[in-house]
């Protein structure tokens, strides 16, 4: 089973920008690791929540599409409460 999430690069940083995105139904996040520079992203809350509600999400392959670029992430077995920030670590 494979999960896919779509994200966009986030140009604005800081609390005001994150708060603005949350009010618009989005979740700020970051992608780091894999020997590459970290990238700030923004995801749609409903899409992320739908994936998180599926227990298989925590142990399966995730394809993260950022502005047309596809990255593969192996989900770690963690569980989040309320979604306020998303962190993806590339292996």
**pLDDT tens digits for range 44-71:** 999 888 888 888 877 777 888 888 787 7
Q: What's the confidence (pLDDT) of residue 73?
A: 66
- Using CA atoms, how far residue 36 sits from 25, 30, 59, in Å, is 28, 12, 23
- For residue 81, pLDDT beyond 80: no
The pTM of the full predicted model, rounded to 2 decimals, is 0.73
């Amino acid at each position: 089973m494979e999960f896919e999430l779509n994200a966009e690069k986030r140009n604005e940083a800081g609390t005001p920008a994150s708060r603005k995105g949350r009010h618009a139904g989005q979740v700020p996040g970051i992608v780091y690791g894999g020997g590459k520079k970290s990238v700030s992203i923004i995801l749609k809350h409903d899409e992320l929540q739908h994936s998180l509600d599926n227990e298989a999400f925590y142990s399966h392959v995730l394809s993260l599409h950022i502005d047309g670029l596809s990255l593969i992430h192996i989900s770690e077995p963690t569980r989040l409460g309320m979604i306020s920030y998303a962190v993806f670590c590339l292996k």
